[in-house]
């Protein structure tokens, strides 16, 4: 694998599952701080946080992916701030693991069991260190409709402060 063919990803854990995202989509990894709740958001939304003078919506990836919330450890919980185009999005994860080089040729397409919205935000699957890692397409974590809902909710929450 050469530097020209490798891709850097940030790997992280949500529940017992391992995920990865292109390192270029990661703006920052923050220690967990409770986001400000915003009314009328979907259950998988934690709320919003202010980061670098921006209102950033925060998704709980456990809820978004339908994983068990009961055994979440608090010690390693982080918020990854992703850049998706000109929008920023926070994602609550159980632990950030590493920045790794992967060979894009090792990526397998999502299997048929990934249907609907899930297929949209899964770029592919790869095996690292004996584990399956799901490579996410960060720009597609939210549907167009969800983006609009969040913009309206975030603007409503931000304008009520000032």
Residue range 2-33, pLDDT digits in tens: 555 788 999 999 988 999 999 999 999 999 98
The DSSP code sequence of 100-146 is EEE-GGGPBPPPTT--THHHHHEEEEEEETTEEEEEE-GGGSS-HHH
Q: What is the CATH code for 7-159?
A: 2.40.50.180
Task: Looking at 65-104, list the stretches that DSSP marks H as alpha helix, in order from N- to C-terminal side.
Answer: none
Query: Do residues 91 and 13 lie in contact, with contact meaning Cβ atoms separated by under 8 Å?
Result: no
Distance (Å, rounded) from C-alpha 32 to C-alpha 141?
A: 20
- Domain boundaries in the chain? 7-159
Residue range 35-77, pLDDT digits in tens: 999 888 888 888 999 999 998 999 998 888 887 777 777 778 9
Which of the given ranges, 85-89, 120-124, 134-138, has the highest pLDDT on average? 134-138
Give SS3 for 44.
coil
Write down the pLDDT at residue 153: 61
Which of the given ranges, 67-71, 121-125, 142-146, 150-154, has the highest pLDDT on average? 121-125
């Amino acid at each position: 694998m050469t530097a020209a063919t490798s891709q850097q990803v940030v790997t992280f854990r949500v529940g017992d599952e391992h995920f990865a995202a292109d390192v270029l989509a990661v703006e920052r990894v923050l220690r967990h701080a409770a986001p400000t709740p915003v009314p009328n958001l979907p259950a998988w939304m934690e709320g919003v946080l202010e980061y670098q003078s921006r209102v950033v919506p925060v998704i709980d990836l456990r809820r978004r992916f339908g994983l068990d919330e009961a055994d979440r450890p608090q010690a390693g919980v982080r918020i990854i701030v992703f850049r998706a185009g000109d929008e920023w999005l926070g994602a609550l994860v159980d632990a950030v693991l590493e920045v790794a080089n992967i060979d894009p040729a090792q990526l397998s397409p999502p299997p048929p069991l990934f249907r609907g919205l899930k297929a949209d935000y899964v770029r592919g699957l790869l095996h690292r260190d004996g584990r399956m890692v799901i490579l996410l397409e960060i720009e597609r974590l939210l549907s167009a409709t969800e983006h609009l809902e969040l913009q309206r909710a975030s603007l409503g929450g931000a304008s009520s402060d000032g």
